[in-house]
Structure 1
C-alpha cells in the first residue's frame, strides 16, 4: 500500500468511534474558522482530510456547498451518510480529483503532515481554489501546549521499533513548516491564530473509544494488541481525570489563512 492507503486503513479501523467521539474535539477551531471567513451562503468548500465530514456539515448548515476528500473509505462512507448533499471522494491529498478553480475555500485541519509530499498538496490546494479564494491550514500546537503528547508518546512505545513504517513528511508540531510551504508556493499566509481545543470525555469508556480510534492507536494495536494499548492509554490519561470521573486534556490548535491571487 502507498502512504495514503495505509493512513486510510489505520484511521478507518474504528471509523464510527472516530466520527462520534474524537473528530468533534477539533470543533473549536472549526467554529473559529467559520466565523473568520464570514458569510458562507452559496460558497463552495473543499475539506482535505475531511474524516467523517464534521466540518463540511458545519459549513453546510451555514449555506456552503461542501465537498471532502479523505484516504479512508470507512470515514467517507460516514461523511456521505451525514451529508447527502455533499460531494465526497476517497483519494490521496496530493492528487485532488477536482477541477481547477472549483472552490471558494479549501481547508486542511491537522491533515497536511500525513501527505507524502506536503508541497505538492499545497500546490494542489491552490490549483482547485478559485482566484481570490481562501486556503486554511490548521495544525496542533507545540508539545508544551498539548496534553495529548503524553498519550502519543506512550503509544509510540507500543509500536514496532526501528525505522517507522510511515515516516512523517512534516512535523505536526513545527509551526514554521506550514507557513514556509505556503510562502514557497506563492501565498502570503496570515499570522497564526491560536484556538484552545480540549479533548473532553465524560468517562473512561468514552475516552478509550475516542483515543483507540486514531491512526497511531490502530498501528499500536496491530503490533501490541488492543488490551495492552487500552491499558497504556488509561494510564496515560489518568492525570487528566476530573473529580466527577470525566477527563479533560488541554490542547491548542493553530491555523493560517491565505488568499489566492485574484
Structure 2
C-alpha cells in the first residue's frame, strides 16, 4: 500500500475519534501558527488539512475570511459545523481546486507529515498564495518527543512484532528537524524561511487519549487495531506502565513538541 492510500485509510470516517483524542493536542500550536502567518482581521486565509476546523475557527475569530480544505470528508463535515462562516472543501494535495494567488496566507497544521509528496504539496500551496503572502506550517519532529515516543517504547516492551508502516519514498523524504523542514520549504521556492521548535506539556484524560489508538488513528492505531485481543491487552499494559510517571488520577501530562516553519511567497 502506498503512502497516500495508507493515509486515506487511517483517517477514513474518524473525525469523531480524532475530536475525542488527538484534536486538543493538534490544536495547541494554532495561536503560534496564525501569528506566524500574520493572520488578522481582513486576512484571506487558506487552512489546508483543516481536520475538524480548529485553526479555521481560531482564524475566523481573528476576523479572517477563511477557506478550509481537508482530504477526509468526515473532517470537512465536522469543520463545516464548527465554522459555518468558512468555505470548507474536500481536496487532496498536491492538486487543490482553487485559483492561483487567491490567498493572503496559507496555514498547514500537521499536514506535511500526511502527504506522499511534501515538495509537490508545498509548490501547490505556493501557487495559491499571493506574492508577499505568508505560509506557516507545523510538523511533528523526529526523534519523537516523550508523549509520542511512549507508543514505540510500549511496542518494544510488549514484544510486539510491528511491521513497518508505509514510508515516503526516500527521494521525497526529509529530516524532521528545524533544518530539514526549512530546507524542504526553501527548495519548493518559498523565501524568508525560518523554523523553530515549540515545546509544551499535553494534558488529557487517559481514556480519551487511548481511544485514538483504539479507533485506529495513526500508525500506532493501525497496529493496535490489527492485533489479537491478547496482544492488544499486552500492549496496553506496557503502555500504561511506561506512561505511569506522567499520570495522575485520570489525567496524563507529558512533554511534547512541534516544528513551526514560516515562509513568504516572493515574486
> Is the 1:158–1:223 Cα contact (8 Å) retained in structure 2?
no
Give the number of aligned pairs.
259
> Is the 1:46–1:105 Cα contact (8 Å) retained in structure 2?
yes
Aligned to 2:11: 11
CA RMSD of aligned residues (A): 2.8
Structure 1 residue runs of 5 or longer lacking an equivalent are none
Scaled by the length of structure 1, what TM-score is found? 0.85
Cα deviation, residue 192, structure 1: 2.0
Aligned to 1:107: 107
Aligned to 1:181: 184
Structure 1 residues 243 and 24: alpha-carbon distance in aligned structure 2, compared to 1, 3 A threshold: closer
The alignment partner of 1:149 has SS state of helix
Aligned to 1:205: 207
Question: Is 2:25 the partner of 1:20?
Answer: no
CA distance in 1, matches of 2:99, 2:161: 39
Aligned to 1:242: 247
Structure 1 residues 70 and 247: alpha-carbon distance in aligned structure 2, compared to 1, 3 A threshold: same
Question: Is 2:49 the partner of 1:45?
Answer: no
Cα deviation, residue 177, structure 1: 2.7
Structure 1 residues 67 and 172: alpha-carbon distance in aligned structure 2, compared to 1, 3 A threshold: farther
Cα deviation, residue 54, structure 1: 1.0
2:258 counterpart (240, 253, 258):
253
> Is the 2:37–2:107 Cα contact (8 Å) retained in structure 1?
no
CA distance in 2, matches of 1:68, 1:226: 39
> Is the 1:27–1:197 Cα contact (8 Å) retained in structure 2?
no
CA distance in 1, matches of 2:202, 2:175: 17
The alignment partner of 1:104 has SS state of strand
Match runs of 1:12-161 below 5 Å:
12-38=12-38, 40-143=40-143, 145-152=145-152, 154=154, 161=163
CA distance in 2, matches of 1:18, 1:172: 26
Scaled by the length of structure 2, what TM-score is found? 0.83
Structure 1 residues 188 and 227: alpha-carbon distance in aligned structure 2, compared to 1, 3 A threshold: farther
Aligned to 1:224: 227
Structure 1 residues 240 and 49: alpha-carbon distance in aligned structure 2, compared to 1, 3 A threshold: farther
Q: Which structure is higher in strand share?
A: 2
Cα deviation, residue 172, structure 1: 6.8
> Is the 2:213–2:221 Cα contact (8 Å) retained in structure 1?
no
> Is the 1:191–1:256 Cα contact (8 Å) retained in structure 2?
yes
Offset from partner CA, 1:13-33 (integer Å, 9 cap, x none): 432121233112133321112
> Is the 2:3–2:167 Cα contact (8 Å) retained in structure 1?
no
Structure 1 residues 17 and 230: alpha-carbon distance in aligned structure 2, compared to 1, 3 A threshold: farther
